Amino acid sequence: MTKKSINISELQAERKKFKPVLPDVFKKGVACISPVKGKTVRSLASVTDQSKLKEIFKNTYGLPKITFRKSRSVIVFKTPVKVAIVFSGGQAPGGHNVIAGLFDGLRENNKKNILIGYIGGPSGILKNKYKTISKEILKDYRNTGGFDFIQSGRTKIETPEQFSLLKNNLLANKVDALVIVGGDDSNTNAAMIAEYLKKKNLDKCVIGVPKTIDGDLKNKHVEISFGFDTATKIYSELVGNICRDVNSARKYWHFVRLMGRSASHITLEVSLKTQPNIVLIGEEILAKSMTLSKVVENITDVIVKRSYIGKNFGVILIPEGLIEFIPEMKELIVAINDILSVSIHDIAKLNSFEGKENFVLNKLPSKLYNLIKSLPANITSQFLLDRDPHGNVQLSFIDTEKLLLEMVHKELLKLGEAGEYKDKFLSVSHFFGYEGRCGIPSNFDANYTYALGYNASALLLNGFTGYLSSIKNLVKPPKQWECGGIPLTTMMNIEKRDGKDKFVVQKALVDLSGKPFKKFVENRDEWSMTESYISPGPMQYFGPKKIINMITKTLRYEHSKGFCE
């Protein structure tokens, strides 16, 4: 039976030849390193939360930081191991190189080591659905985007039955280590699985790998999650193209919503790369307790000021999760969710959407009733129609860019005399999201993900469990990157979800005191009134090193001593 080949483009064919650069510590392979145990890593959680975490994670809390150093002696791991890898959550560029790095690290140490991939995410573990990974079938996926090699999924392993099934399947397949590639929720799951297996006295390793294009899996131990670099370069090309177009046509306002469900990192990075006229950062809006009408007023002010000088055009960037950062909108969403959960059976009896809508709206407090009635009718329906499996509003389905566009237009018509803005304000809306999740990884992400996978092999071969594969010093060339592991529990805190305490890896929001945001604030007034647009162009894989190895501005500013380029 011959192996089915995959369809690849000319660029992909060339990218197959790309050889990721490993950090120097791995120059002679996993056998020629020694793990150095540092001090216990200080938890990011509060003192109160730490005591609760210690109770839950009795076997994996308080572990030391691990740093790998070159070793003169050669450690040969003679006993073959069987390792499983699984993708969890949304796609991010570079996932296939995590598999490649893990595979190469294992095989270079012992040709008898086996790597399998669970299919379709964590549900693949529960269904015991997997494929054995070989050099031959992996070769066409190196340096490619997407997760199509083993796919992904969003199943959470959290019930006693699921944990028991996971344990039984790992034992049945004689799996010695499990590598979970995912974001904050997925690595929370990794921490829970590591603790569970330890509690059951099973000698199995669980290693997490930081993945999310949203950039919200970040802290002092994780400089950047993989995929963020590639995705923001893709979005920046698209926004940069729009900036050039708007500066050419000079007659449209473009409202652009960018992916980023819980944080505005993508929007901030793209703004630093393209310099549009208006940029909304959700975390700032929350900090200032701004109302929706105030957000609309601020946008309108800039549009009017530009119109006074004959500039009836511009570009506005909006983070996907903006609605939840506006306090009154968050209150509205919570109220609607509560009504729907309590009255689900009563609502189901109503035949028309209009009847269901009136039922919900009439149960809202007058303040929230007036708020939702101020929204465009099509947006109101999105709050009520699109629900997730738990019955909650699906914020990613709310067309925030269209909401703001329509409300700004309405405000402009109120301000203008005799329809002054009727013909001056022409608008176009966009949502850039899925376009960035499966792009061919940048050189940075191709190197970073390969190193994360290779580093994961070093952690598990040395018997570590409950750790996140950690690569640091990322502003330096890859050869100088620092490798090791960070205990997953140190990144966890306790959040209230559905009225209950949940142990989760802490999401990183945009730091309003951080250098990237300060750089943005330093320039936004100038950008608002001028055409300081930058068009970064398409991502480059070949050419001058300065271009092909370019890192994000966010990472550059965070690790710089000043604001110098």
* Spatial CA neighbour of 289 closest among 259, 320, 330, 257: 330
Task: State how far the Cα of 145 lies from the Cα of 180, in Å rounded to an integer.
Answer: 18
**Under 8 Å between Cβ of 522 and 563:** yes
Coil, strand or helix at 118? strand
- Tokens 């930058």 correspond to what residue? 534
**Under 8 Å between Cβ of 468 and 207:** yes
Task: State how far the Cα of 208 lies from the Cα of 453, in Å rounded to an integer.
Answer: 10
Task: State how far the Cα of 363 lies from the Cα of 179, in Å rounded to an integer.
Answer: 47
Q: Which of 104, 184, 185, 214 is catalytic?
A: 214
* Spatial CA neighbour of 381 closest among 362, 358, 350, 364: 358
Task: State how far the Cα of 18 lies from the Cα of 143, in Å rounded to an integer.
Answer: 7
Coil, strand or helix at 132? strand
Task: State how far the Cα of 383 lies from the Cα of 388, in Å rounded to an integer.
Answer: 11
- CA 261-440-136 angle, 5° bins: 120
Which tokens go with 354? 């209009």
Going 110 to 114 to 120 to 126, the CA torsion angle's sign is negative
Task: State how far the Cα of 519 lies from the Cα of 355, in Å rounded to an integer.
Answer: 49
Question: Any catalytic annotation for residue 214?
Answer: yes
Task: State how far the Cα of 265 lies from the Cα of 184, in Å rounded to an integer.
Answer: 15
Q: What are phi and psi of 83, to 5 degrees?
A: -120, 140
Task: State how far the Cα of 490 lies from the Cα of 224, in Å rounded to an integer.
Answer: 17
Task: State how far the Cα of 20 lies from the Cα of 350, in Å rounded to an integer.
Answer: 59
In the beta sheet, which residues pair with residue 33? Answer: 70
- CA 444-449-450 angle, 5° bins: 100
Torsion of the alpha carbons at 46, 47, 53 and 58, rounded to the nearest 10: 150
Residue 90 makes CB contacts below 8 A (sequence gap 6+) with: 152, 183, 212, 213, 437
Task: State how far the Cα of 190 lies from the Cα of 483, in Å rounded to an integer.
Answer: 20
Please identify every residue annotated as catalytic. 214
